[in-house]
Chains A and B, each alone.
Chain A
Amino acid sequence: MESQLVVAAGLNKYFPSGVQALHDLNLEISRGQFVSIVGPSGCGKSTFLRLVAGLDQPTSGELRVEGHDPLGLAFVFQDATLLPWRSVAHNITLPLELRHEDADERVTQTLELVGLTDFADAYPAQLSGGMRMRVSIARALVTRPQILLLDEPFGALDEITRQRLNEELLRLWQEDHWTSLFVTHNVSEAVFLSQRVLVMSARPGRILADIPIPFPYPRSAYLRSAPEFIRIANGISRQLAHADEL
């Protein structure tokens, strides 16, 4: 039997303003899975990630994250959120520094893993948007998280950079198989990356559909033009359009 890393049952979240962000949300995510959540903007996808991260508390319902220790968890935000006064290497060291863990070897390894060794001493302002996001992902992976939460990390990038980083992210995931919870509003990206795509309704958010993506890994860039890929992506887009009208 697969072990469930994240279990949400009847999850509700109201903001102090009285707005309901999530309504009776149920889902299970197994260890090592790559799961994406798509939904109309403002549907509560990001709110759900924050709940999983323990950055916010649900109003009611149950949310279990296996070994609910925030230290086993890493978050990649929409913006790279790097510290401009620290070099690439020192930005990646930061989480280890805050936890008082040894850094040197792991930072070197992580820099190598994401192909940033040559930029170790560069400062964020000297890097392109895509490079900054790679540093941000490296900063998340350096702690060797069990679960990686990504909140529209590639939303601000151009399409070509986005696709390249998608392939990069999959390569990293296949090496370590952390559990991935990826929020996006880009359907093609979600299908390309994931084993499952969850479609959320407009606010208050709940899960409308749970769509398995059958393609085996490793996945190559050609997959995006495969008829079956396009059929699945179109199906999800239709569901999304429907979700927006609800």
Chain B
Amino acid sequence: MKRLRSLTTNVLPPLLFFALVLCAWQAAVSLFGIEPFLLPGPLLVAQAIADNLPRLLSATLLTASGALLGFVLSFAFGFLVALLFSQSRLIERSLYPYAIFLQTMPIVAIAPLIILWIGYGLQGVVAVSFIIALFPVIANTTDGLTRVDPHILDFFALNKANRWQVLFKLRVPGAVPQMLVGARISSGLSVIGAIVGEFFAGYGTEDFGLGYLIILTNGQAKTDYLFACILFCTLLGLGLFTTVGSLSNFLLRRWTGAPE
């Protein structure tokens, strides 16, 4: 019952608004006779989706696997780097500027270089996605591992805890909320990374992802198809983001006191 009410108060209004925008959009396109290659109406976009559904789905799947691999790799590697940073101030001070450097370097500028070194296809796409998604994991996990209540550290010291006990019984579990914040940000970024990667890395004319499809449809002035690609990109990003979000709420239920 409560679920139903939250559905009607939270989900219904934005959906209604969306339907309203679609109607206005379609009306404007028909009324002013806008060329479909400039701005196709929602009906044309829907038609494009229906016509190209298998292609769109296989492209989304390929982009999703690139993004997911990039995300998982960035999370694993970022966690290890943060673990290293938390163990030595010297290492952190020496390497952290380069992590920031990696973050501020425009990925679009170095993507061709990555492809040159790593090659076309999935590995190139994953590499770009990985690099884009890495920094938030490093920054948030390092923060979580190093910011510990000093009184709890005193408590561990009083009980003669060794370095490993402090790390694995205190710092790592204590950093979980921060790690998940980082994961949420990187999950969205990894999708952007995969699409940017596909702009450059493509796959081939047989098997390709959404990024390649965007370039292709744009080049052929199939704007309705392009709109369909953009919609699928957005849905993919949203899907990954909400999955990580729900996973994080589930993992943190003990922190917040939510019923198990």
Contact = CB atoms under 8 A, between A and B. Distances in A.
Interface stretch (B93-101, B151-159, B194-202): B151-159
Interface of B: 149, 151-152, 154-161, 165, 169-170, 173-174, 176, 254-257
Nearest to A151: B151
Interface string A74-85: 110111010111
Given A75-B154, A75-B155, A84 B160 contact: no
Interface of A: 50, 53-55, 70-71, 73-75, 77-79, 81, 83-85, 94-95, 97-99, 123, 125-126, 143
Given A83-B152, A83-B173, A70 B255 contact: no
10 contacts: A70-B158, A75-B154, A75-B158, A78-B151, A84-B255, A85-B173, A98-B156, A98-B159, A99-B159, A123-B254
Contact of A79 (B151, B158, B160): B151
Contact of B157 (A55, A79, A94): A55
B174 A83 contact: yes
| Interface class of chain B by DSSP | helix
Contacts of A81: 149, 151-152, 155
Contacts of A143: 159
B160 A70 contact: yes
Nearest to B258: A125
Nearest to A82: B152
Contact of B254 (A71, A85, A94): A85
Given A55-B154, A98-B160, A99-B159, A83 B255 contact: no
Nearest to A79: B151
A123 B255 CA distance: 8
A100 to B, nearest CB: 10
Contacts of A98: 156, 159-161, 165, 169
Contacts of A71: 159-160
A95 B165 CA distance: 11
B158 A53 contact: yes
